[in-house]
Amino acid sequence: MKLLRYGPPGGEKPGLLDASGAIRDLSGAVPDLAGEALSPEGLAKLAALDPASLPAVPGTPRLGPPVAGMRNLVCIGLNYADHAAETGAPIPKEPIVFLKSLGALSGPNDDVVIPKNSRKCDWEVELAIIIGTRATCVPEEKAMDHVAGYAVGNDVSEREWQIERGGSWDKGKGCDTFGPVGPWLVTKDEVPDPQDLSMFCDVDGQRMQEGSTRTMIFGVRTIVSYVSHFITLHPGDVVFTGTPPGVGMGKKPDPIYLKPGQTMRLGIAGLGEQTQRTVAYGGG
């Protein structure tokens, strides 16, 4: 299944993408795509529905993040061997774990705001794991039992703040709009091998990133187990799993960074695509 949430920010409704690509309203079947709805039993109930029996959603509504009720937006750094090489970083011996602010979460096609005084905003297409059931201290052999499915993520990053300003990575990762997720949650039964998915990111029509989850250092199973020993994962939590090569920071001879008025288009095979426009900070 491809599950989604549509409508204005804060007012999203649950939906399902049918075989024809039309959105069907799930609000009569489930309050939201959160909690028990993401468990194996909850997903089985949704899968048993006849999409044709659900109300069709007219037009092309805004898509929000495909899950609600998130407590943690976890990220794994330097998790692709070829990306680590382009940054000159050594291969990590254990997963590098950091958190994005939940305020960074946004819809797959929402604008990305270049923060005030930012000079080095960058893109990162990533496979996002969506948690379906509570996971704490989970062994690797049972880790997949806690996965509801997958989505596309963009781990937008301000490199100066992440790397050059001291302290943790978090302040370069958690800005408003820096965590687009979607367009939908694809349930894990439709993704036979999450370690064999091609992925890309274009900026203004130019291919910047092209890679595959085959080059991940730590796979999905390992990541879920590892993180669960430090952070209890809850239904609706999202784990970004790292990015392939081609980020702006790694471009030669000179890095390339985002500026207002650009368009990012990114996607992962079988999981859909996102398109975001970059806009200037307009706050006080």
Report the pLDDT value the prediction gives residue 284, as an integer from 0 to 100: 59
Q: Which pLDDT tens digit goes with each residue over 136-166?
A: 999 999 999 999 999 999 999 999 999 888 8
Which token pair is 6? 């549509």
Superfamily of segment(s) 73-280: Fumarylacetoacetase-like, C-terminal domain (3.90.850.10)
Domain boundaries, the chain: 2-64, 73-280
Report the pLDDT value the prediction gives residue 197, as an integer from 0 to 100: 98
Report the pLDDT value the prediction gives residue 87, as an integer from 0 to 100: 75
Residue 113 pLDDT greater than 80, yes or no: yes
What DSSP designation does 193 have?
Answer: -
The pLDDT of 51-58, averaged and rounded, is 97
Q: What share of the chain has pLDDT > 90, as a percent?
A: 90
Report the pLDDT value the prediction gives residue 179, as an integer from 0 to 100: 98
In which band, very low, low, confident or very high, does the pLDDT at 45 lie, cut at 50, 70 and 90? very high
Query: Whole-angstrom distance between the N-terminal and C-terminal Cα of the chain?
Result: 42
Report the pLDDT value the prediction gives residue 100, as an integer from 0 to 100: 96
Distance CA 70, CA 177 (A): 16
3-class SS at 98?
strand
Range in 31-35, 150-154, 163-167, 237-241 with the lowest mean pLDDT: 163-167
Residue 7, amino acid:
G
Which token pair is 241? 């799993």
Torsion 262-266-272-278 (CA) sign: negative
Report the pLDDT value the prediction gives residue 158, as an integer from 0 to 100: 96
Contact (CB, 8 A) for 266 and 154: yes
Which token pair is 13? 């409704």
